[in-house]
Amino acid sequence: MKKLIIVGLVVAIVVAIGVYLYVFHKPARTAASEEATFSVTTSNLLSEFEADENAANAKYLEKVIKVSGVVSSVTENDAAIIVYLAEPESTSGVSCSFLKSDLDKSKIAVGDKVFIKGICAGYLMDVMLNRCALGM
Amino acid sequence: MKTLKLILIAFLMIGVQSLFAQKYISKDGHVWFNASTPLENIEAHNRQSASILDAATGELVFNILIKSFEFKATLMQEHFNENYMESGKFPKATFKGKITNLSAINFAKNGSYNADITGDLTIHGVTKPINTKGLIVIKEGVITGTSKFIVEPKDYNIIIPKLVEGKIAKQIEVNVDITYKKM
């Protein structure tokens, strides 16, 4: 009986630690592990947000979007690499933020035509995609 | 007479040029906040804030996406978005205001200037007036601005459940660090 209690206790503790680890250290959601809900071009995505931001928010926010476009710049900050897709001469575009561990910078260059999957965060001067993944 | 005309035209052109060159833009401003308590370390960073500064009028606009705040803990980030900020409903926070002591700042001359900033801050769909101080540093035509201010979640109808009340600071310190480019 005593043994059973001890075994029970050990199991309970292991489960508790497992739940704790899962809840507090679960990996961040990234676009890489999900199928895209929408597939659009840079200019179409932009014009949808420019035409009716609320409608576009309702459609795209938190969804994984696969966007195609031409790389206009690649920049880096403390936490992320930002790949900016825009038409030449355009003042707005799609800003794709990658966790540094999710992008090999040598694989991307200005002028490349790319597909990028990302989670849509909304629209400021550009449409913002976070936790992106580079596609083929 | 002719030279006078030329000088006049030259001055006019300089005037027109500086008129066009007085708007500054940034798309990668760093905004972060600290809501830590002795019980919990809560800090999040957003490095994609968009801002326009008009050096001629002092008008200042900031836009920021709530979903672009990155936390260390994924669960915290989910709670922040879903329960507290309701970022699906209110995706943006904005500041619209102006620098009120514009005459004390010379955007054409290198230096550090204290700025008095006043305007409306909108978070979670609620707009409140805010006054804060900022530091503007001008170096070789590059404008860097920093500011720090306090917001209280209750002012913006952000409801923190009793259960976690002690873990989240009632006064949250917000920091801004931004570098502008000429528009």
Residue range B46-82, pLDDT digits in tens:
999 999 999 999 999 999 999 999 999 889 999 999 9
Q: Quick check: A124 and B73 CB within 8 A?
A: no
Give the separation between CA A31 and CA A41, rounded to whole angstroms.
17
Q: Residue A74: is its pLDDT beyond 80?
A: yes
- Minimal CA separation from B87 to chain A, in Å: 9
Q: Which residue has the tokens 């710049």?
A: A73
| Mean local confidence (pLDDT), A13-41 | 83
Task: Among A23, A82, A124, select the one facing B75 at the smallest CB separation.
Answer: A23
C-alpha distance from residue A103 to each of A10, A29, A106, A133, B5 (Å): 41, 16, 9, 7, 59
pTM: 0.84
The answer as to whether A73 is a domain residue is yes
Other CB atoms within a 10 A radius of the CB of residue B141 amount to: 13
pLDDT at B179: 96
Q: Find the closest chain B residue to A99 by CA distance.
A: B70
Closest approach of chain B CAs to the CA of A13, in angstroms?
22
Chain A residues with CB inside 8 Å of B49's CB? 124
Spatial separation of the C-alpha atoms in residues B81 and A96, rounded to whole Å: 20
Of the residues B32, B72, B75, B89, the best mutation for testing chain A's interface (the one with the most A CB atoms within 10 Å of its CB) is B75
Other Cβ atoms closer than 10 A to B138: 20
- Whether residue B14 has pLDDT greater than 90: no
pLDDT(A16) > 70:
yes
Q: Which residues in chain B touch residue A125, judged by CB atoms under 8 angstroms apart?
A: 27, 50, 63
| H or E stretch covering A132 | strand A127-134
Residues in chain B within 8 Å Cβ distance of A57 = 91
Say which of B27, B68, B74 has its CB closest to residue A121.
Answer: B68
d(CA B140, CA B111): 10
Total number of domains in chain A: 1
Average pLDDT over residues B92-115: 95
Contact B45, A79 (CB under 8 A): yes
Which residues of chain B make contact with A80, given a CB cutoff of 8 A? 47
Q: For residue B25, give the nearest of B59, B50, B55 by alpha carbon.
A: B50
B50 and A124 in contact by Cβ < 8 A?
yes
pLDDT at A68: 97
Torsion of CA B77, B79, B82, B84, to 10 degrees: -110
* Sequence letter at residue B114: N
- Burial of B122 from C-beta contacts in 10 A (0-12 / 13-18 / 19+): middle
pLDDT of residue B142: 92
Confidence of residue A89 (pLDDT cuts 50, 70, 90): confident
Q: Between chains, do B48 and A57 touch, taking CB under 8 Å as contact?
A: no
Nearest CA in chain A to B93: A124
Bridge partners of A38, per DSSP, are: A65
The pLDDT of B35-51, averaged and rounded, is 94
Percent of chain A past pLDDT 70, that is, above it, reads: 96
Chain pair A-B, CB pairs under 8 angstroms: 62
Instruction: Say if CB B27 and CB A95 are below 8 A apart.
Output: yes
Question: What secondary structure does DSSP assign to A76-96, as a single string?
Answer: E-SSEEEEEE--TT-S--EEE
Q: Taking 90 as the threshold, does the pLDDT of residue B11 lie above it?
A: no
What residues in B contact A119, CB-CB < 8 Å? 67
| Mean pLDDT of the A40-65 span | 96
Q: Which two tokens stand for residue A98?
A: 């990658």
pLDDT above 90: percentage of residues in chain B: 79
Query: What's the rounded mean pLDDT across residues B96-124?
Result: 96
- What superfamily in CATH does domain B23-182 come from? Lipid/polyisoprenoid-binding, YceI-like (2.40.128.110)
Check CB contact under 8 Å for B67 and A61: yes
Share of residues in chain A with pLDDT > 90 (%): 65
> For residues A31-64, b (16+ Cβ closer than 10 Å) or e, as one string?
bbeeebeeebebbebbebbeeeeeebbeebbbeb
The answer to whether residue A37 scores a pLDDT higher than 90 is: yes
Mean pLDDT confidence for A122-131: 96
Residue A61 domain-assigned (yes or no)? yes
- Structural domain that includes position A86: 31-134
Residues B111-140 have a mean pLDDT of 97
pLDDT value at residue A15: 83
Read off the pLDDT of each residue in B114-129 and give the average, rounded to a whole number.
Answer: 97
A13 inside domain: no
Percentage of chain B surpassing pLDDT 70?
89
CA dihedral B98, B99, B103, B104 (to 10 degrees): 180
Instruction: Please state the rounded mean pLDDT for residues A79-102.
Output: 92
The minimal CB distance from B47 to the residues A26, A77, A122 is found for A77
